[in-house]
A and B are shown apart, each in its own frame.
Chain A
Amino acid sequence: MEETIKEIVDENQEYVINMGPQHPSTHGVLRLVVSLKGETVKNVEPHIGYVHRGIEKMCESITYPQIIHLTDRMDYLSAHINNEAVCLNVEKALEVDIPDRIKVIRTIMSELTRIQSHQLFWATFGMDLGGLTCFFYGLRDREKVLDIFEETCGSRMIVSYNCPGGLMYDIHPNFQKRVKDFINYFRKILPEYDQLLTGNVIFQERTRGIGRLSLEDAISYGVTGPAARASGFSCDVRKHEPYSAYDRVKFNEVLFNEGDTFHRYLARIEEMRESMNIIDQLIDNIPEGPFAVKMKPVIKLPEGEYYQRVETARGELGVYIISDGNKNPYRIKFRSPCFSNLSVLNLISKDFKIADLVAIGGSLDLVIPEIDR
């Protein structure tokens, strides 16, 4: 009897457990096959494809204005920024001049999207690590942004507010007032986030020094967004290749050198502050003008190849269109940030405990429909 027990709890034996696809901390249908030695993670193998809808294949048979509605469904937390990527690419290909009003509104909406995405990150990251209060506080504040979206765009999360050549509709008359109210409110609330979670001793013990990602690995694995900027990799597309109205606002790129879970978290908190600064600079001077440029009823891109990158809440989204002159693309590729960020999970969670795997996975802020597409 004693011998059998010894065999089961043999410390040198590696065993495999299955995490997901319905595990609450994977935020979607991601399945991780984890090899463990005791409680130490030896290997993590992601299995994806549970929400693979073949968006790239579908796009080959629909028109460009229709594609925009599919991009919402990739990263549903930064839906507006995904729309913008396709629109900017189409407008670049057709060489359309976009009036300032559209650029400014797009930028404000993008930053609101970024704030609400990071709020949800904060809420769920706190919940993953056992702080359930964060979940309620985070979602409470996120509702205020979603209400602004609802009023102006007609829907809350998957907004589809952009169209090639501008915006679907003009902003609601209340828009500026409500955004200013929200910014005033959230400026006061954000220090509470720090008091509740950032300064918490248990939280710091569980995140500091965990899952360290070096700068070389971040570049080699193609990690972008706040996860890479926490490792000191300056990759903010808004700075390096400004699109829309980012060239006329002043903001800092949030950079840290530590690259651990705590700093990936901190990078997002700081980014919310920067986003509020950007909105502050733009909200009072939205120029007058049309909210959309008149486009041809059937949009056909000239033959050629077009690449546009934007900064979503998770990193660099690239849209690569190969056109053969028809009304639908010959091939469209979405370079999704989460797909590359996921590939680094095995590297940085090696030799940490399985409870840390939850923290590391949470700090990468993966959205699974964007990985599967």
Chain B
Amino acid sequence: MDKVHLGDIIKSLDSDIEIKEGKQFTEINIPASNLYTLAKQLRENHETSFDFLICITGVDYGQDLGVVYHLRSIRHNHTIVLKTRISDRENPQLDSVADIWRTAEFHEREIFDLLGIKFTNHPDLRRFFLKRSYGFPLRKDFVDDINIVTK
């Protein structure tokens, strides 16, 4: 399936999305509130059938926090990138996709640990690597005078 046709199909699933042709993959920007429903459709629709979640990346864009999903379809062998942004830095929340792709459970726990994004409906959201009192080190405004040496 070519990229343009794939873009059309995804566009028909949700009207709030914004599709951009990246250098490598088709990139889809979606508001955080629509993420879960679109993810479920992408997985279940026979023409898209994105059944393999490669990874989830949490990014601090400065103003917003972002979450990037790399998805692949084993049957059709195509890949897309799903992006969403959360503007609330104090109490960032996003729907969990752990019941759609089980691998998301660990990846979301990692993002919660390092960026502090809370995933609602996650089965077991606890810190993974760091102790409870530690801050969120992958945020750009994280300061640790003792352990991080700045030049």
Contact = CB atoms under 8 A, between A and B. Distances in A.
A333 B129 contact: no
A318 B55 contact: yes
Interface stretch (B3-11, B18-26, B88-96): B18-26
A343 B57 contact: no
B103 A220 contact: yes
Given A219-B52, A240-B77, A372 B106 contact: no
Contact of A305 (B22, B51, B74): B22
A372 B106 CA distance: 12
A125 B4 CA distance: 48
A339 B106 contact: yes
Given A318-B70, A333-B57, A343 B52 contact: no
B103 A320 contact: no
Interface string A308-346: 010000001010101000000001010100011011000
Contact of A222 (B54, B57, B68, B81): B54
Interface of B: 22-25, 51-55, 57, 59-60, 68, 70, 74, 77, 81, 101-103, 105-107, 110, 114, 128-130, 137-138, 148, 151
A250 interface: no
Pairs A-B, 5 closest by C-beta atoms: A222-B103, A49-B129, A335-B55, A52-B129, A333-B57
Interface residue tally on A, bucketed by range: 20 to 34
A342 B105 CA distance: 12
Given A219-B52, A220-B51, A221-B103, A304 B59 contact: no
* Central interface residue in A56, A222, A335, A343, by most chain B CB within 10 Å: A222
Given A306-B23, A307-B25, 19 more contacts: A49-B129, A52-B130, A54-B137, A56-B138, A57-B137, A57-B138, A221-B102, A222-B54, A222-B55, A305-B22, A305-B23, A305-B24, A307-B70, A307-B81, A318-B70, A335-B54, A335-B70, A339-B107, A339-B110
Nearest to A335: B55
Nearest to B79: A307
Contacts of A320: 55, 57, 68, 70
Nearest to B68: A320
A217 B102 CA distance: 8
B126 to A, nearest CB: 10
Contacts of A307: 24-25, 70, 81
